[in-house]
Amino acid sequence: MANKCGACGRFASMSDSVKCVKCTLAFHKQCVKLSSDARLSKWHCRECKTKASCASVTAIGTPSSGGSTGGTDTELADALVGAADRGRCESDNNLANDIKFIREQVTTILQEMASFQQEILKINKNLGDLNNRVGDVEKRVTMLEQRAPDTNVPSESSKMEETIVELKCQLNDRDQASFLTDIEISGVEEAKGENPLSIVTLIATKIGVSLEERDIVSVTRAGVRHKHDILSDGGKPRPRPLVVRLARRTVRDEMIKAARVRRGADTAGLIVGTEPRKFYINERLTRTNKQLFYKVREEGRRKGWRFMWTRDGCIYARRDSDTPRYRFRTDADIKKFFGL
């Protein structure tokens, strides 16, 4: 039988209750006014104490006036029988209450189990629908895999690579557009204390172009200055090119055209104390275009192509004078047009 407080009727735990050694009923320590840390080996509830007191008083009561003890014994027996009957009634009532409570708890549990069963049925139904959908997806994937070898659909990675290459080309074209008025003069020996502006003006005069100082925006040596004037093999380092920014594009085109007409001109008489060297005037290219133009020339020579040139920052090549020209923007174009 579950432990319920004989005073308040609520459940009482073993640690928070005390049990009567007489009627074996449990009571909350708080309900019988005991401290929570009280430890009692033999404890009687108030009702049992009252019954014991009444029985004691009856047992030692005053004899009847006739002097006979028969009436007293009879009354004592009746009192004991009545106390026993009351104890059994109380126990029966407690048992009935416990059974009623247990039935209520069982009814609640059955209702909750029925609710759980309904939820489980819903979950099973949803799992069945999900399995059907997964099966449909697997069928579609299988069909796509079977069709993939028959179609040349580019993958996502290849599309992304193409996009990256195109973006790089656009950035390179934008950088090249900023060099439309620039030229690069290579082969001019570098000297200490030189005047680059004067050198450019003399070179323009030598190739037949009248170039004034107002036509020149800036002149600089491109690249890192060499720390040593003589290399380890005894030769001199290659001079850094002169990068010239002109005020107008027409002046740039005139300089490049005149340099091609007078191909083979040298620096004789330009810089005192230096040996004459051939100089070359070309349009200025970005680093990417320089590397690409070098590869195009090398591969074109290997393949026997006759013409490789640049114009306005664009790289072109053709096999012969009567064959079509091709524009090169990436390394992939080299493989495409040269047939590698």
Range of the domain at 46: 1-59+84-106
H/E run at residue 25: none
Instruction: Tell me the DSSP string of 295-309.
Output: HHHHHHHHHT--EEE
Q: What's the half-sphere exposure (Cβ side, CA atoms, 13 Å) at 81?
A: 6
152-191 core/surface letters (b: 16 or more CB in 10 A; e: else) = eeeeeeeeeeeeeeeeeeeebeeebeebebbbbbbbbbbe
CA–CA separation, 247 vs 181, rounded Å? 7
Q: Give residue 71's pLDDT band: very low, low, confident or very high (50, 70, 90).
A: very low
Q: Do 207 and 254 belong to one domain?
A: yes
* pLDDT for 274: 74
| pLDDT-based confidence at residue 70 (cuts at 50, 70, 90) | very low
Instruction: For residue range 258-311, list pLDDT tens digits in order.
Output: 999 988 888 887 776 778 889 999 999 999 999 999 999 999 999 999 999 999
Query: What strands, in cross-sheet order, belong to the sheet with 314-318?
Result: 307-311, 314-318, 326-328
- Do 275 and 311 reside in the same domain of the chain? no
* 13 and 88 belong to one structural domain: yes
**298 and 245 within one domain:** no
* Sequence-separated (6 or more) residues with CB below 8 Å from residue 261: 207, 208
> Which two structure tokens, joined as six digits, stand for 271?
């810089």
Percent residues over pLDDT 70 in the chain:
81
| Cα 315 to Cα 179: distance, rounded to the nearest angstrom | 15
Q: Has residue 209 been placed in a domain?
A: yes
Least-confidence region, from 26-40, 44-58, 81-95, 209-223: 81-95
Shared domain for 102 and 38, answered yes or no, is yes
Is residue 130 in some structural domain?
Answer: no
Give the ranges where the chain is alpha helix by DSSP (H): 46-59, 70-147, 156-177, 196-206, 249-261, 287-303, 331-338
Model pTM score? 0.51
114 belongs to a structural domain = no
- Are residues 231 and 297 located together in one domain of the fold? no
Residues 256 and 337 in one domain: no
pLDDT tens readout for residues 10-37: 777 777 788 888 888 888 888 887 877 7
Give per-residue pLDDT as tens, 88-145.
Answer: 666 667 788 889 889 988 999 999 899 889 989 999 888 888 888 888 898 888 888 7
Between CA 178 and CA 284 the distance in angstroms is: 10
Same-domain status, 186 and 263:
yes
Per-residue pLDDT, 144: 83
Q: At residue 201, does pLDDT exceed 70?
A: yes
**What is the pLDDT, as a whole number, of residue 83?**
56
Question: Among residues 47, 73, 106, which one ends one of the domains?
Answer: 106
Q: Is residue 153 part of a domain?
A: no
What are the two backbone dihedrals, phi and then psi, of residue 307, each rounded to the nearest 5 degrees? Answer: -125, 125
> Residue 205 maps to which CATH number?
3.30.70.1820
CA dist., res. 106 & res. 93, Å (int): 20
**Residue 16 buriedness (CB in 10 A; 0-12 / 13-18 / 19+):** middle
**307 shares its domain with 330:** yes
Residue 172 to residue 299: CA distance in whole angstroms: 22
77 in any annotated domain: no
* pLDDT value of position 66: 43
| pLDDT tens track for 239-263 | 899 999 999 999 999 999 999 998 8
Residues 189 and 277 placed together within one structural domain of the fold:
yes
Q: Which residue has the higher pLDDT, 146 or 132?
A: 132
Does 15 share its domain with 97?
Answer: yes
- With a CB cutoff of 8 Å and minimum separation 6, the contacts of 277 are 187, 188, 189, 266, 267
How many domains does the chain contain in total? 3
Query: What is the CATH number for 18?
Result: 3.30.40.10
pLDDT confidence tier of residue 323, bands split at 50, 70 and 90:
very high
Tell me if 240 is assigned to some domain: yes
Residue 242 maps to a domain: yes
- Rounded to whole angstroms, the Cα distance separating 216 from 28 reads 107
Q: Whole-number mean pLDDT of the chain?
A: 82
Among 197, 176, 178, 179, smallest CA distance to 188 is for 197
Rounded to an integer, the average pLDDT of 172-193 is 90
Instruction: Say yes or no: 295 and 273 in one domain.
Output: no
In a domain, 30, yes or no: yes
List of residues 6+ apart from 262 with CB closer than 8 A? 206, 207, 208
